[in-house]
């Protein structure tokens, strides 16, 4: 059986590729475990500054493996929800996580995308939150943070399809790019994140998340400042930046 998740690392970017193309990357138990294991590996690797999660063959993730889930429910396992476990693990990463969405992101796939920090979509991408149609609540925590309460209710109550253009307009994705230049755009963006200070990125992410969720963001930012300012990473990067600015000013 081929690996359900493929991992590569280069230029400070760890790539986690969903690899179940025959099921359009629908998440089953084994894939969920593979996602969680891959995230643990990438989180623990100091060479990885940013993480990209992507699909295969024009599909990001078609959702949960419904046949497997139905079989588990009929056996009496009412709590079977491996796709939620995968999304929760992605959301728990301290590193910046970028969803590279090319094609459908439905149900659990949309939830997985919402668990990432940044979402970049190709023009052929589309999204759907069909949980209420199936008698479940899916995305009701993360989606309002992206699109606001009223729009989140519309998308979850109706389960309608959202195309890439609308997704960008309502804030569901950060940007939409032409399909033919999608991979290059994701690669360029991920590398632009990966050159930043890993410590500053992690503290910035924690502070922003606290600000969004009503936590003590001010306290976290103050703590970050006390820990990072004057440290080796800050001094090295600030010295390099000062030299660049001074050089440009002297040239003019």
DSSP assignment of 13-61 equals: EEEEEE--GGGTT-B-HHHHHHHHHHHHHHHT-TT-SEEEEE-BTTBSB
Structural domain boundaries in the chain:
5-194, 198-251
pLDDT exceeds cutoff 90 at 106: yes
Residue 1 confidence class, pLDDT cut points 50, 70, 90: low
Name the DSSP class of 64: B
From CA 22, how far away is CA 28, in angstroms rounded?
13
Mean pLDDT, residues 240-250: 84
Length of the chain: 252
pLDDT exceeds cutoff 70 at 108: yes
Architecture per CATH, domain 5-194, reads as Alpha-Beta Complex (3.90)
The CA-based angle 60-61-62, given to 5 degrees, is 130
Residue 252 confidence class, pLDDT cut points 50, 70, 90: low
What pTM was estimated for this model as a whole? 0.95
At 53-100, the pLDDT tens digits run 999 999 999 999 999 999 999 999 999 999 999 999 999 999 999 999
At 188-211, the pLDDT tens digits run 999 999 999 999 999 999 999 999
């Amino acid at each position: 059986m081929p690996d359900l998740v493929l991992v590569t690392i280069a230029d400070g970017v760890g790539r986690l590729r969903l690899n179940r193309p025959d099921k359009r990357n629908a998440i089953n138990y084994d894939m969920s475990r593979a996602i969680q294991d891959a995230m643990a590996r990438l989180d623990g690797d100091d060479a990885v500054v940013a993480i990209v999660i992507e699909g295969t063959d024009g599909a990001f993730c078609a959702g949960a493996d419904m046949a497997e889930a139905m079989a588990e429910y009929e056996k009496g396992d009412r709590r079977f929800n491996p796709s939620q476990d995968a999304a929760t693990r992605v959301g728990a990463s301290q590193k910046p996580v970028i969803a590279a969405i090319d094609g459908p992101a439905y149900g659990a796939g949309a939830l997985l995308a919402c668990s990432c920090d940044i979402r970049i979509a190709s023009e052929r991408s589309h999204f759907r939150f069909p949980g209420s149609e199936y008698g479940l609540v899916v995305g009701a925590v993360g989606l309002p943070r992206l699109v606001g309460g009223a729009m989140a209710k519309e998308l979850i109550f109706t389960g309608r399809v959202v195309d890439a253009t609308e997704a960008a307009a309502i804030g569901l994705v950060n940007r939409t790019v032409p399909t033919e230049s999608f991979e290059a755009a994701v690669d360029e963006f991920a590398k632009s994140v990966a050159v930043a200070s890993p410590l500053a990125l992690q503290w910035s992410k924690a502070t922003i998340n606290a600000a969004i969720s009503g936590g003590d963001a001010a306290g976290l930012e103050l703590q970050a400042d006390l820990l990072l300012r004057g440290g080796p990473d800050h001094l090295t990067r600030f010295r390099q930046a000062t030299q660049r600015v001074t050089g440009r000013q002297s040239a003019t």
